[in-house]
Protein backbone atom coordinates (compact mmCIF):
# COMPACT_ATOMS: atom_id res chain seq x y z
CA UNK A 1 0.00 0.00 0.00
CA UNK A 2 2.82 2.38 0.89
CA UNK A 3 4.59 1.69 -2.42
CA UNK A 4 1.34 2.37 -4.28
CA UNK A 5 0.92 5.76 -2.60
CA UNK A 6 4.50 6.71 -3.43
CA UNK A 7 3.98 5.73 -7.07
CA UNK A 8 0.78 7.78 -7.31
CA UNK A 9 2.55 10.79 -5.80
CA UNK A 10 5.42 10.49 -8.28
CA UNK A 11 3.02 10.22 -11.23
CA UNK A 12 1.09 13.27 -10.04
CA UNK A 13 4.30 15.28 -9.71
CA UNK A 14 5.46 14.23 -13.18
CA UNK A 15 2.08 15.15 -14.65
CA UNK A 16 2.24 18.63 -13.16
CA UNK A 17 5.74 19.08 -14.56
CA UNK A 18 4.68 18.05 -18.05
CA UNK A 19 1.57 20.28 -18.06
CA UNK A 20 3.64 23.28 -16.92
CA UNK A 21 5.36 23.20 -20.34
CA UNK A 22 2.22 24.77 -21.89
CA UNK A 23 2.94 28.47 -22.35
CA UNK A 24 1.51 29.59 -25.68
CA UNK A 25 -2.21 29.88 -26.37
CA UNK A 26 -2.19 26.79 -28.58
CA UNK A 27 0.71 24.82 -27.11
CA UNK A 28 0.25 21.04 -26.72
CA UNK A 29 -1.22 20.11 -23.34
CA UNK A 30 1.40 17.42 -22.83
CA UNK A 31 5.02 17.33 -23.99
CA UNK A 32 8.00 15.24 -22.89
CA UNK A 33 10.42 17.70 -24.50
CA UNK A 34 11.57 21.00 -23.06
CA UNK A 35 10.66 24.21 -24.89
CA UNK A 36 14.30 24.65 -25.87
CA UNK A 37 14.41 21.14 -27.37
CA UNK A 38 11.22 21.78 -29.33
CA UNK A 39 12.51 25.10 -30.69
CA UNK A 40 15.98 23.87 -31.64
CA UNK A 41 16.36 22.70 -35.23
CA UNK A 42 15.86 23.74 -38.84
CA UNK A 43 12.50 25.16 -39.92
CA UNK A 44 10.80 26.20 -43.14
CA UNK A 45 8.29 29.06 -43.39
CA UNK A 46 5.09 27.38 -44.60
CA UNK A 47 2.51 30.17 -44.21
CA UNK A 48 1.94 33.65 -42.90
CA UNK A 49 -0.53 36.50 -43.07
CA UNK A 50 -0.46 40.04 -41.84
CA UNK A 51 -1.33 43.69 -42.27
CA UNK A 52 0.54 46.95 -41.96
CA UNK A 53 -0.48 50.59 -41.95
CA UNK A 54 1.67 53.65 -42.46
CA UNK A 55 0.22 57.12 -41.82
CA UNK A 56 2.27 60.18 -42.73
CA UNK A 57 2.13 63.55 -41.09
CA UNK A 58 0.44 64.97 -44.19
CA UNK A 59 -2.47 62.56 -43.78
CA UNK A 60 -1.69 60.05 -46.52
CA UNK A 61 -2.09 56.39 -45.55
CA UNK A 62 -0.71 53.16 -46.97
CA UNK A 63 -2.47 49.94 -45.95
CA UNK A 64 -0.89 46.64 -46.93
CA UNK A 65 -2.24 43.11 -46.54
CA UNK A 66 -0.13 40.08 -47.36
CA UNK A 67 -0.31 36.30 -47.23
CA UNK A 68 2.02 33.40 -48.02
CA UNK A 69 1.13 29.77 -48.75
CA UNK A 70 4.61 28.27 -48.60
CA UNK A 71 5.52 29.20 -52.18
CA UNK A 72 3.87 32.46 -53.27
CA UNK A 73 3.31 35.70 -51.37
CA UNK A 74 0.27 37.76 -52.37
CA UNK A 75 0.35 41.46 -51.54
CA UNK A 76 -2.36 44.11 -51.80
CA UNK A 77 -1.41 47.74 -51.11
CA UNK A 78 -3.84 50.65 -50.90
CA UNK A 79 -2.64 54.25 -50.85
CA UNK A 80 -5.20 56.84 -49.81
CA UNK A 81 -5.27 60.59 -49.27
CA UNK A 82 -8.51 62.34 -48.47
CA UNK A 83 -11.28 60.81 -50.56
CA UNK A 84 -9.01 59.33 -53.25
CA UNK A 85 -7.29 55.95 -53.13
CA UNK A 86 -5.47 53.52 -55.40
CA UNK A 87 -4.82 49.80 -54.91
CA UNK A 88 -2.06 47.70 -56.41
CA UNK A 89 -1.50 43.95 -56.12
CA UNK A 90 1.54 41.82 -56.82
CA UNK A 91 3.05 38.43 -56.04
CA UNK A 92 6.47 37.16 -54.96
CA UNK A 93 7.85 33.64 -55.06
CA UNK A 94 10.37 32.90 -52.34
CA UNK A 95 11.63 30.56 -49.63
CA UNK A 96 12.56 31.32 -46.02
CA UNK A 97 14.26 29.02 -43.54
CA UNK A 98 15.08 29.40 -39.85
CA UNK A 99 17.76 27.63 -37.80
CA UNK A 100 17.67 27.83 -33.99
CA UNK A 101 20.73 26.27 -32.34
CA UNK A 102 21.13 24.97 -28.79
CA UNK A 103 23.97 27.41 -28.13
CA UNK A 104 21.53 30.33 -28.54
CA UNK A 105 22.54 31.32 -32.08
CA UNK A 106 20.16 31.55 -35.03
CA UNK A 107 20.16 32.13 -38.78
CA UNK A 108 17.30 33.21 -41.06
CA UNK A 109 17.78 32.72 -44.81
CA UNK A 110 15.55 34.31 -47.46
CA UNK A 111 15.65 33.62 -51.21
CA UNK A 112 13.51 35.50 -53.73
CA UNK A 113 13.04 33.06 -56.60
CA UNK A 114 11.65 35.73 -58.95
CA UNK A 115 14.64 38.09 -59.02
CA UNK A 116 17.36 35.76 -57.64
CA UNK A 117 18.15 37.88 -54.59
CA UNK A 118 19.10 36.44 -51.21
CA UNK A 119 19.53 37.60 -47.64
CA UNK A 120 20.78 36.03 -44.42
CA UNK A 121 20.39 37.30 -40.88
CA UNK A 122 22.40 35.96 -37.95
CA UNK A 123 22.38 36.57 -34.23
CA UNK A 124 21.35 35.18 -30.87
CA UNK A 125 18.02 34.09 -29.42
CA UNK A 126 16.78 33.80 -25.85
CA UNK A 127 13.53 33.02 -24.04
CA UNK A 128 11.95 36.05 -22.36
CA UNK A 129 10.73 36.07 -18.77
CA UNK A 130 7.06 36.51 -18.02
CA UNK A 131 5.63 40.04 -18.19
CA UNK A 132 2.21 40.74 -16.67
CA UNK A 133 1.94 44.13 -18.38
CA UNK A 134 2.46 42.49 -21.77
CA UNK A 135 0.30 39.49 -20.79
CA UNK A 136 3.18 37.10 -21.44
CA UNK A 137 4.05 33.94 -19.53
CA UNK A 138 7.59 32.85 -18.77
CA UNK A 139 9.23 31.53 -21.98
CA UNK A 140 6.16 32.33 -24.07
CA UNK A 141 8.21 34.65 -26.28
CA UNK A 142 11.74 34.71 -27.65
CA UNK A 143 13.97 37.70 -28.35
CA UNK A 144 16.04 37.69 -31.53
CA UNK A 145 19.10 39.96 -31.41
CA UNK A 146 20.58 40.47 -34.86
CA UNK A 147 24.35 40.79 -35.16
CA UNK A 148 24.84 40.52 -38.92
CA UNK A 149 22.86 40.70 -42.17
CA UNK A 150 24.13 39.75 -45.62
CA UNK A 151 22.29 40.72 -48.81
CA UNK A 152 23.09 39.43 -52.30
CA UNK A 153 21.55 41.16 -55.32
CA UNK A 154 20.68 39.58 -58.67
CA UNK A 155 24.16 40.40 -60.03
CA UNK A 156 25.90 38.66 -57.14
CA UNK A 157 26.94 41.83 -55.32
CA UNK A 158 27.15 41.20 -51.58
CA UNK A 159 26.41 43.83 -48.90
CA UNK A 160 27.05 43.06 -45.24
CA UNK A 161 25.85 45.06 -42.24
CA UNK A 162 26.72 44.49 -38.61
CA UNK A 163 26.87 46.31 -35.28
CA UNK A 164 25.77 49.93 -35.50
CA UNK A 165 24.97 49.56 -39.21
CA UNK A 166 21.88 47.48 -38.35
CA UNK A 167 18.80 49.72 -38.22
CA UNK A 168 16.56 47.20 -36.41
CA UNK A 169 18.71 44.84 -34.37
CA UNK A 170 16.08 43.02 -32.32
CA UNK A 171 12.68 41.38 -32.71
CA UNK A 172 10.26 39.66 -30.31
CA UNK A 173 8.40 36.54 -31.45
CA UNK A 174 5.40 35.51 -29.34
CA UNK A 175 5.08 31.72 -29.57
CA UNK A 176 1.39 31.05 -29.97
CA UNK A 177 2.17 27.37 -30.57
CA UNK A 178 5.38 25.42 -30.02
CA UNK A 179 5.20 21.78 -31.10
CA UNK A 180 7.90 19.29 -32.02
CA UNK A 181 7.22 19.79 -35.72
CA UNK A 182 5.37 23.12 -35.97
CA UNK A 183 5.73 26.66 -34.65
CA UNK A 184 3.20 29.46 -34.91
CA UNK A 185 4.48 32.86 -33.82
CA UNK A 186 3.07 36.37 -33.82
CA UNK A 187 4.79 39.72 -34.21
CA UNK A 188 3.28 43.12 -33.41
CA UNK A 189 5.21 46.27 -34.20
CA UNK A 190 4.55 49.99 -33.83
CA UNK A 191 6.74 53.04 -34.39
CA UNK A 192 6.14 56.79 -34.19
CA UNK A 193 8.48 59.28 -35.83
CA UNK A 194 8.31 63.02 -35.31
CA UNK A 195 9.99 65.86 -37.17
CA UNK A 196 9.90 69.61 -36.56
CA UNK A 197 10.07 72.28 -39.23
CA UNK A 198 9.22 75.97 -38.89
CA UNK A 199 8.11 75.39 -35.27
CA UNK A 200 5.63 72.75 -36.47
CA UNK A 201 5.92 69.14 -35.33
CA UNK A 202 4.63 66.42 -37.66
CA UNK A 203 4.31 62.79 -36.60
CA UNK A 204 4.08 59.67 -38.74
CA UNK A 205 3.13 56.23 -37.47
CA UNK A 206 3.68 52.68 -38.62
CA UNK A 207 1.94 49.58 -37.23
CA UNK A 208 2.01 45.95 -38.33
CA UNK A 209 0.76 42.55 -37.18
CA UNK A 210 1.91 39.19 -38.51
CA UNK A 211 1.25 35.51 -37.83
CA UNK A 212 3.72 32.97 -39.23
CA UNK A 213 3.78 29.17 -39.34
CA UNK A 214 7.03 27.17 -39.44
CA UNK A 215 7.36 23.45 -40.24
CA UNK A 216 10.37 21.47 -39.03
CA UNK A 217 12.62 20.35 -41.91
CA UNK A 218 15.03 17.96 -40.21
CA UNK A 219 14.68 16.20 -36.86
CA UNK A 220 18.05 15.66 -35.21
CA UNK A 221 18.44 13.02 -32.53
CA UNK A 222 20.52 15.48 -30.50
CA UNK A 223 17.51 17.83 -30.30
CA UNK A 224 15.09 15.32 -28.81
CA UNK A 225 15.90 16.27 -25.19
Could you tell me what percent of the chain has a pLDDT over 70? 82
Q: Number of H helices and number of E strands within the chain?
A: 2, 11
Question: According to the model, what pLDDT value does residue 17 have?
Answer: 46
pTM: 0.81
Domains of the chain, start order: 2-58+92-219 (2.40.128.280)
What mean pLDDT is predicted for residues 136-163?
95
Q: Round to whole Å and give the CA distance between 100 and 41.
A: 5
What mean pLDDT is predicted for residues 127-139?
93
Mean pLDDT, the chain, rounded, equals: 86
Burial of 148 (0-12, 13-18, 19+ CB in 10 A): middle
Q: Round to whole Å and give the CA distance between 140 and 31.
A: 15
Q: Round to whole Å and give the CA distance between 211 and 51.
A: 10
Which pLDDT tens digit goes with each residue over 45-78? 999 999 999 998 888 999 999 999 999 999 999 9
Which pLDDT tens digit goes with each residue over 187-211? 998 888 877 766 666 678 999 999 9
Q: Round to whole Å and give the CA distance between 150 and 159.
A: 6
Q: Does the structure show a pLDDT above 80 at 96? A: yes
Amino acid sequence: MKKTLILVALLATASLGIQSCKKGENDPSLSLRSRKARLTGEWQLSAYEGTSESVSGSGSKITTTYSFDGAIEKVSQTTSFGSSSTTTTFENKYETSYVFNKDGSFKISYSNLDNNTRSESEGFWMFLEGNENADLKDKEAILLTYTKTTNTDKDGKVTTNSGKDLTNNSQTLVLDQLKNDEIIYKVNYQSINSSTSNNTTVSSTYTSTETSTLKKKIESFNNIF
